[in-house]
């Protein structure tokens, strides 16, 4: 698909996220030796692309390269409005405030959050730039859907400038309890920013409850059921925002179709064979992030080898850790830790023929991921905190013959929906080890029963269902426009 100049017009539906839903491919990789864009993988764009092309939609976001100004363009029928970030913005707003302040704070302070006023100033400035792009391109009465923690100030900026807009916000990551959120020096501004929305969506009911408790505690809002009453200086109600859980999901049809493609089934067989056809393949697939509990998983696996409950002849762990936020210190430290541990385990337990951990610091196309899901007998999702965890849902969806076992952390949003997974607490290493052994030896009929019930849950609630639920809840809200 070529890039055409956009029609000069306003949009009645706008999605706003830190990243645009396209990736640039380099010239040696593209068709005709040219540089170009391709649609990013992932459920969000799959769910929203049809709306973008059918309605007068547009997507506002960063195109991923610093210090480069791009004009609006369209790709695959979607109108894209790029927001530029300078090298400083990337360092202060993206790597700093978004990923070294908010990210650890919102994930149970697994890593210590850093608070810097320069980062906050940049976060505010960049949020303003995103809001300005929407203000410029949104038609009167348009619906605007803002995504995730990088853009929490955008809803109130929009409401102030454009009371005609219908504003939704969805937080893809957890929202912390007020006792932890309290640490943030700018907690009040963040709450007020989010409360500019008509509808504030979260993954879990507990995230929505945490947000409502913070709204009450830090800005004195009154909360009735799921309605948050925002008061002006004179004590009169100026705006009502609704907070509610909408658990996100995946593009089920896409994964199911890939799981039945003969070449992908063949690729799964090839992967098993390349590993020497072990009895059991265990699989972990994560962004290389300290929220994912990768060290806990490796520790449990190592102890099982040490105790002889597993042997490298019988079992191999494939750990895909896709590169992420590599300039942020905590991520660099984690990579060193994981690579040290993997080297230690393999050095101790590998034989000439067999490897304990096949560690891959790469990201792969979805076809290869589905082949891995098909090859894996046991999927390990050991996150210490995770807004949802879509890998768990993808694995279950790919298991079209209802075999395999999912070991799933209680600290994921997915645990709310996948109640038939083998749920565990990843901090409890003995419990994790026992759950892994239970998964390895799960009787086929029990495996089938659990997979069937999880598959049904996911098939009934795919990502289209998620976006439709959110947008219809948003559409039901009456927007008062006095302008
Ligand atoms: C999480 C966040 C997303 C983010 C993604 C990848 O899923 O919720 O907002 O886009 O991680 O991280 P990155 O920093 O590379 O965008």
425 Cα–ligand 1 center, Å: 24
98 Cα–ligand 1 center, Å: 10
Distance between CA atoms of residues 352 and 326, nearest Å: 33
Nearest CA residue ID for atom 8, ligand 1:
172
Give the three-state DSSP class for 274. Answer: helix
Let me know: does 377 contact 400? Beta carbons within 8 Å: no
Nearest CA residue ID for atom 12, ligand 1:
324
Nearest CA residue ID for atom 14, ligand 1:
325
| Ligand 1 atom having least distance to the Cα of 148 | 9
- The dihedrals phi and psi of 119, each to the nearest 5 degrees, come to -65, -45
Q: What is residue 179's DSSP assignment?
A: H
Query: Nearest 5 degrees, angle CA 248-CA 250-CA 255?
Result: 170
DSSP assignment of 304-315, as one string? HHHTTSS-TTTE
Mutate to test the pocket of ligand 1, among 19, 96, 169, 288 (most ligand atoms within 8 A of CB): 19
Cβ neighbours, 10 Å, residue 12: 17
| Ligand 1 atom having least distance to the Cα of 324 | 15
278 Cα–ligand 1 center, Å: 34
Distance between CA atoms of residues 341 and 296, nearest Å: 11
Cβ neighbours, 10 Å, residue 314: 11
Mutate to test the pocket of ligand 1, among 324, 383, 390 (most ligand atoms within 8 A of CB): 324
Let me know: does 250 contact 462? Beta carbons within 8 Å: yes
Reading the chain (483 residues) residue by residue, the pLDDT tens digits are 445 555 558 999 999 999 999 999 876 665 565 679 999 988 789 889 888 888 899 999 999 999 999 999 999 889 999 999 999 999 999 999 999 999 999 999 999 999 999 999 999 999 999 999 999 999 999 999 999 999 999 999 999 999 999 999 999 999 999 999 999 999 999 999 999 999 999 999 999 999 999 999 999 999 999 999 999 889 899 999 999 999 999 999 999 999 999 999 999 999 999 999 999 999 999 999 999 999 999 999 999 999 999 999 999 999 999 999 999 999 999 999 999 999 999 999 999 999 999 999 999 999 999 999 999 999 999 999 999 999 999 999 999 999 999 999 999 999 999 999 999 999 999 999 999 999 999 999 999 999 999 999 999 999 999 999 999 999 999 765 554
Nearest CA residue ID for atom 6, ligand 1:
324
Distance between CA atoms of residues 245 and 207, nearest Å: 8
Residues with CB under 6 A from ligand 1: 19, 148, 172-173, 324-325
CA distances, 197 to each of 13, 18, 218, 227 (Å): 15, 17, 17, 12
Q: Which of 361, 231, 358, 350 is nearest to 287 (CA)?
A: 361
| Residue 39, token pair as written in the block | 């649609």
Query: Nearest 5 degrees, angle CA 226-CA 228-CA 231?
Result: 165
Q: What is the ipTM of this complex?
A: 0.97
Q: What is the pTM of this model?
A: 0.95
Distance between CA atoms of residues 124 and 366, nearest Å: 35
| Ligand 1 atom having least distance to the Cα of 99 | 14
Query: Nearest 5 degrees, angle CA 13-CA 17-CA 19?
Result: 125
| Ligand 1 atom having least distance to the Cα of 387 | 8
Q: Which of 87, 54, 64 is nearest to 17 (CA)?
A: 64
């Amino acid at each position: 698909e070529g890039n055409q100049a956009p029609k000069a017009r306003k949009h009645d539906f706008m999605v706003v996220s830190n990243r645009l839903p396209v990736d640039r491919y380099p010239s040696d990789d593209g068709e005709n030796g040219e540089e170009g864009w391709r649609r990013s993988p992932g459920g969000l764009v799959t769910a929203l692309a049809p709306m973008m092309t059918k309605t007068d939609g547009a997507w506002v976001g960063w195109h991923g390269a610093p210090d480069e100004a791009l004009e609006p363009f369209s790709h695959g029928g979607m109108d894209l409005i790029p927001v530029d970030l300078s090298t400083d913005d990337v360092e202060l707003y993206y790597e700093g405030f978004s990923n070294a302040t908010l990210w650890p704070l919102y994930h149970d302070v697994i890593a210590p959050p850093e608070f810097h006023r320069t980062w906050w100033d940049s976060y505010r400035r960049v949020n303003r730039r995103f809001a300005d792009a929407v203000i410029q391109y949104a038609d009167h009465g348009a619906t605007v859907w803002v995504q995730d923690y990088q853009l929490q100030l955008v809803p109130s900026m929009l409401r102030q400038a454009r009371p005609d807009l219908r504003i939704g916000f969805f937080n893809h990551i957890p929202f912390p309890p007020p006792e932890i959120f309290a640490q943030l020096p700018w907690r009040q501004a963040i709450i007020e920013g989010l409360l500019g929305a008509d509808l504030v969506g979260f993954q879990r009911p507990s995230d929505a409850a945490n947000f409502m408790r913070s709204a009450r505690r830090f800005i004195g809002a009154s909360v009735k059921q799921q309605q948050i009453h925002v008061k002006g200086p004179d004590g009169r109600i100026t705006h009502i925002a609704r907070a509610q859980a909408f658990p996100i999901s995946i593009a089920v049809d896409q994964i199911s179709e890939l799981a039945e493609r003969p070449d992908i089934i063949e690729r799964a067989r090839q992967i098993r064979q390349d590993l020497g056809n072990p009895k059991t393949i265990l699989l972990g697939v994560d962004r290389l992030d300290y929220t994912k509990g990768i060290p806990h998983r490796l520790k449990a696996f190592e102890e099982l080898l040490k105790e002889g409950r597993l042997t490298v002849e019988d079992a191999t762990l494939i750990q895909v850790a896709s590169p992420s936020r590599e300039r942020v210190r905590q991520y660099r430290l984690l990579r060193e830790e994981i690579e040290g541990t993997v080297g230690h385990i393999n050095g101790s337990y590998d034989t000439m023929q067999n490897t304990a951990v096949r560690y891959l610091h790469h990201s792969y196309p979805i076809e290869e991921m589905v082949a891995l899901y098909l090859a894996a007998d046991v999927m390990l999702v050991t996150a210490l905190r995770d807004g949802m965890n879509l890998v768990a849902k993808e694995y279950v969806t790919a298991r079209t013959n209802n075999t395999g076992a999912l070991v799933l952390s209680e600290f994921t949003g997915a645990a709310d929906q996948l109640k038939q997974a083998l749920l565990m607490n990843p901090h409890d290493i003995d419990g994790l080890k026992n759950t892994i052994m239970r998964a390895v030896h799960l009787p086929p009929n029990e495996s089938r029963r659990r997979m069937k019930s999880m598959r049904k849950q996911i098939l009934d609630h795919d990502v289209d269902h998620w976006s439709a639920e959110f947008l219809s809840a948003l559409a039901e809200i009456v927007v008062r426009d006095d302008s």
